[in-house]
A and B are shown apart, each in its own frame.
Chain A
Amino acid sequence: MDLKSSDRVTSTPLRSTASNGLKIVIVGGFGVGKTTMVRSVSEIRPLSTEEVMTHAGVGIDDAGGVQDKTTTTVAFDFGRISLNDQMILYLFGAPGQQRFWFLWDRLFAGTLGAVVLVDTRRVQDSWYAIDRLEHHGMPFIVARNDFGGPAHKLEDIREALDLSPEIPLIDCDARERESSKKVLITLVNHLYALSTAAEGTT
């Protein structure tokens, strides 16, 4: 019997009054620092889980269909922040690759908003994520994780990403708690502005 992660006691229990779970998703390419960012602000060590996507066999209930299905696994990391006695914010680090977006509605419906984490050495990795977020109508901000690479101006990155001026674009160091905190606050402020503006027009 191999040791499974599930046999460890890892979690710090939530307060008994916890009642409202919220989600923010951090999207980015491989190695861009998603888990690092989750870890820097999370009250638990980041955990990993996965979802299985079944192709062609969705909804088939009979046992005969089981072996004909092809399945794809998408893994993602997460951490959490207890905001107050009731509200718990879950932060998900999600891979930006294509197959992941098929699961967006199933897993991340109701997400407050998203952070697109960008590595300026691989700006093109973010194009697809930004396109999909826009497609899903999910508000987001963009944060450049500082890897000590070439010092592009933020405005050049905005241009490279073809990002509209109203979408916040900031610098961050995902290893630093204060910096990651600032990224989350920037996102929520952006959401607040969008939300109050939307209320004003209805």
Chain B
Amino acid sequence: MTSRPVDREDPDRLYIVTGGRSRVDESSIDLVSLIVSECDPAPGMQSEHVRILRMCTNPMAVVEIAAELGLPVSVVKILLCDLLDTGRITARHPTIAPAKTRLPDPAILKQVLLGLEKL
């Protein structure tokens, strides 16, 4: 809750970064979807795209990309959609369906418990 670069950010800049789009099919990209680069940055690419491609040589969650870029999550999702549309990245989405009423699968919870106990 400390730093808020966006509050001081010129809204026009966020507008330019996203090419003016304010909507994206958000249901397709989760906060913890893991993004993987499928190519190297090419000359002439938007700088944010270049940075995302460099960051995601190993899988990286959307929220970590947002933190590294210092941009709001929704802006990053729009940038990711561009790269997904052109096949430059792939996304590994969470297997848990974001349904409101459904509890997680016990088999998944078992694995979470095993992982936590090893901490």
CA distance A4 to B2 in the complex (A): 14
B28 within 8 A of A: no
Provide the residues of chain B in CB contact with A49, threshold 8 Å: 63, 66-67, 72-73
On whether A5 and B113 interact (CB within 8 A), knowing A63-B15, A112-B104, the answer reads: no
Which partner residue on chain B sits nearest A46 by CB separation?
B67
Which of the residues A14, A35, A110, A195 comes within 8 Å of B58, measured between beta carbons? A14
Per-residue 0/1 for B60-83: is the Cβ within 8 Å of any A Cβ (1 yes, 0 no)?
A: 110110111110111100000000
Which of the residues A59, A83, A112 comes within 8 Å of B96, measured between beta carbons? A112
A98 within 8 A of B: no
CA distance A196 to B31 in the complex (A): 27
B43 within 8 A of A: no
* Pairwise interchain contact A19-B92, C-beta atoms closer than 8 A: yes
CA distance A33 to B70 in the complex (A): 24
A87 within 8 A of B: yes
> Which residues of chain B (1-16) have a CB below 8 Å from chain A?
1-7, 11-12, 14-15
A111 CB, min distance to chain B CBs, angstroms = 9
Per-residue 0/1 for B23-59: is the Cβ within 8 Å of any A Cβ (1 yes, 0 no)?
A: 1001000111110000000000000000100010111
CA distance A78 to B73 in the complex (A): 13
* Pairwise interchain contact A23-B32, C-beta atoms closer than 8 A: yes
* Pairwise interchain contact B109-A112, C-beta atoms closer than 8 A: yes
* Pairwise interchain contact A195-B109, C-beta atoms closer than 8 A: yes
Q: Lowest 4 A-B CB distances belong to which pairs?
A: A83-B115, A21-B32, A109-B98, A110-B98
Residue numbers of B with Cβ under 8 A of A are 1-7, 11-12, 14-15, 20-23, 26, 30-34, 51, 55, 57-61, 63-64, 66-70, 72-75, 92, 94-101, 103-106, 108-117, 119
Q: Knowing that A11-B60, A50-B5, A83-B115 touch, tell me 18 more A-B residue pairs with CB under 8 angstroms.
A: A6-B69, A14-B34, A14-B60, A18-B58, A41-B119, A51-B72, A77-B1, A81-B115, A83-B111, A87-B115, A89-B116, A90-B63, A95-B1, A110-B99, A139-B103, A177-B119, A194-B103, A195-B105
